[in-house]
Amino acid sequence: MQFPAQERFADGAQFIAGRLARGSSGRTHAVVDPATGDDVHTYALAGTDDVDAAVAAARAAFPGWAGATPAERSEALHRFSAVLADRAEDLARAESLQCGKPLKLSREFDVPGTVDNTAFFAGAARHLQGQSAGEYSGDHTSYVRREAIGVIGSIAPWNYPLQMAAWKILPAIAAGNTVVLKPAELTPLTSLLFAEAATAAGIPDGVVNIVTGTGREAGEHLVGHPDVAMTSFTGSTAVGRRVAEVATATVKRLHLELGGKAPFVVFDDADLDAAVNGAVAGALINTGQDCTAATRAYVQRAVYEEFVARTAALMETVRLGDPFAPTTDLGPLISHVQRDRVAAFVDRARGYARVVTGGEAPGGDLAKGAYYRPTLIADAPQDSEIVQSEIFGPVLVVLPFDTDDEGIRLANDTPYGLAASAWTRDVYRAGRATRDIKAGCVWINDHVPIISEMPHGGFKQSGFGKDMSAYSFEEYTQIKHVMFDNTAVVRKDWHRTIFGDR
């Protein structure tokens, strides 16, 4: 059985102050199953009044939640993790239905990752770190308080809706903030299930709120809202720029997790079997709709042709199909619009590069879904669109290089810097690659794995700020210096700079 979205969200697709509600924008949006094109659930979109109500609920909940002890917040998050684990199958089915992800991916990656993230932040809630208190001036004791910031306005994309909701909400609430999250309007279902699970775990009403509306209306209103203290955004670099502009008016603290165009650098001593398997998995994860997906393989000349032939052959074995079928490796893209966008990139590339395999939508039973075949493109110039732009589909471009320095230079030659990998058995090459590649994550001999304990976030135009890990926990706190005079002296030594002599 698929997920019964109509029934579960009959009361609406907004979650404000602990309950579902209908949006008041006067407009509706359909969640569509991209595997079939069928309408899964049509709901009323949030308007600005709903954003105001959610922010008011979050503001009202803030003093109580920020005032809870770290142990109390930690216990609530442990219960939250347990409720999510109990509801794992529901979450996986809803995620696969709205995104078209193979059920095995939702079950084995998205949902367990979210449960683990929740458990991680339950622990982190009790471990705020900082500089030690001390008499740094000699006459005073100084210490640092790390405090919750207030209401956090978060905006998430459609590619990993559940994990993105988790990455935004968990560190924020672990630190004592309250949150209003706007998921992408295409994929609200698992964000709503996540918020319901928070309430079921006893997290107070108003700590986690979801407003499901468009970016222009609900998103910009949330970013510009005077009662929102910080904006945390994950999405494209283009929209991130707009979010930064809107946030400037109220001088908001910003966290931007933006686009990527991850390089995959294969040196001539690499284990080629491992590199070929890694390239296909790294490029096709989530049908290529992954900000860290391998998109540009740079392969040293001696092994280039062999890599191209073997990668194409392996890509051709990947099975497209119904996301709910156990034999399916690759689902559709998120929508027909996204599929057509990817196809247009590939069609334009035919003029200047070689399409080695793929490059078309499948026919037959899959024709009505937003499917696109795994695609390998060789011999594109470094400055071409297909090498430089984020495609967000199952497309890998392969280019040759000669010297190690050239491989690293080409890897760094895009405006993005989110993630990268290098493939070699030479420890010195690996060391140089990790030092010289400008990206927030560099894998050696793998591509894609993430873990709750380690930070995820970009360099360059991939944004700033970190998700997951203790680093993201810190992002959702603000630092206050407290200074106590220890002398009780009325006229202090430094006062002579204002009046009198020593």
In whole angstroms, give the CA distance from residue 134 to residue 389.
Answer: 50
In whole angstroms, give the CA distance from residue 225 to residue 239.
Answer: 17
Q: What is the separation, in whole angstroms, between the first and last Cα of the chain? A: 84
In whole angstroms, give the CA distance from residue 22 to residue 397.
Answer: 44
Stretch that binds ligand NAD, among 203-211, 213-221, 303-311, 479-487 (CB under 6 A): 213-221
Minimum CB–partner distance for residue 160 and ligand NAD (Å): 6
Stretch that binds ligand NAD, among 111-119, 238-246, 316-324, 378-386 (CB under 6 A): 238-246
Residue count at the site for ligand NAD (CB under 6 A)? 30
Encoding tokens for residue 11? 């009361």
Minimum CB–partner distance for residue 159 and ligand NAD (Å): 5
The answer to whether 219 contacts ligand NAD (rule: CB under 6 A) is yes
In whole angstroms, give the CA distance from residue 360 to residue 125.
Answer: 48
Residue 17 backbone dihedrals phi, psi, to 5 degrees:
55, 40
**Of all residues in this chain, which one has the CB nearest to ligand NAD in the complex?**
215
Q: Nearer to ligand NAD by C-beta: 87 or 221? A: 221
The answer to whether 474 contacts ligand NAD (rule: CB under 6 A) is no
Encoding tokens for residue 196? 């319901």
Residues 339-398 that bind ligand NAD (CB under 6 A): 390, 392
Q: Nearer to ligand NAD by C-beta: 432 or 460? A: 460
Out of 185, 196, 220, 257, the active site residue is 257
Stretch that binds ligand NAD, among 59-67, 168-176, 252-260, 273-281 (CB under 6 A): 252-260
Put residue 445 in one of left, alpha, beta given phi > 0 → left and psi -120 to 50 → alpha.
left
Minimum CB–partner distance for residue 69 and ligand NAD (Å): 31
**DSSP string covering 27-88:** -EEEEEETTTTEEEEEEEPP-HHHHHHHHHHHHHHHHHHHHS-HHHHHHHHHHHHHHHHHTH
Would you state the torsion angle of the CA atoms of residues 454, 86, 39, 223, taken in this order, to the nearest 10 degrees?
-40
Please give the angle made by the CA atoms of 67, 192 and 229, to the nearest 5 degrees: 40
Minimum CB–partner distance for residue 334 and ligand NAD (Å): 8
Contact string 420-459 vs ligand NAD (x = CB under 6 A)? ------------------------------------x-x-
The answer to whether 259 contacts ligand NAD (rule: CB under 6 A) is yes
In whole angstroms, give the CA distance from residue 290 to residue 85.
Answer: 24
The answer to whether 157 contacts ligand NAD (rule: CB under 6 A) is yes
Minimum CB–partner distance for residue 238 and ligand NAD (Å): 7
Q: Nearer to ligand NAD by C-beta: 87 or 182? A: 182
User: Is the separation of the CB atoms in 12 and 22 below 8 Å?
Assistant: yes
The answer to whether 468 contacts ligand NAD (rule: CB under 6 A) is no
In whole angstroms, give the CA distance from residue 368 to residue 349.
Answer: 25
Single residue of 41, 93, 182, 310 touching ligand NAD by CB under 6 A: 182
Single residue of 31, 184, 210, 468 touching ligand NAD by CB under 6 A: 184
The answer to whether 257 contacts ligand NAD (rule: CB under 6 A) is yes
Contact string 273-302 vs ligand NAD (x = CB under 6 A)? ------------------x-----------
Residue 467 per-residue DSSP state: B
In whole angstroms, give the CA distance from residue 421 to residue 431.
Answer: 12
Residue 257 falls in the annotated catalytic set? yes
In whole angstroms, give the CA distance from residue 212 to residue 50.
Answer: 9
Q: Nearer to ligand NAD by C-beta: 244 or 318? A: 244
Contact string 402-421 vs ligand NAD (x = CB under 6 A)? ----------------x---
Residues 28-87 that bind ligand NAD (CB under 6 A): none
**DSSP string covering 311-343:** HHHHHTTPPB--TTSTT-SB---S-HHHHHHHH
Residue 147 backbone dihedrals phi, psi, to 5 degrees:
-120, 155
Stretch that binds ligand NAD, among 109-117, 254-262, 361-369, 494-502 (CB under 6 A): 254-262
Stretch that binds ligand NAD, among 228-236, 294-302, 403-411, 480-488 (CB under 6 A): 228-236
Encoding tokens for residue 224? 């510009």
Stretch that binds ligand NAD, among 71-79, 239-247, 315-323, 446-454 (CB under 6 A): 239-247
Single residue of 173, 258, 262, 284 touching ligand NAD by CB under 6 A: 258
Residues in the chain: 502
Q: Of 293, 298, 295, 292, nearest to 266 (Cα)?
A: 298
Q: Which element (helix H / strand E) includes 441?
A: strand 441-444
Minimum CB–partner distance for residue 34 and ligand NAD (Å): 14
Unique residue bearing structure tokens 């393989």: 297
Catalytic center residues: 257
Q: Which residues bind ligand NAD (CB under 6 A)?
A: 155-159, 182, 184-185, 215-216, 219-220, 223, 234-236, 239, 242-243, 257-260, 291, 390, 392, 418, 456, 458, 462
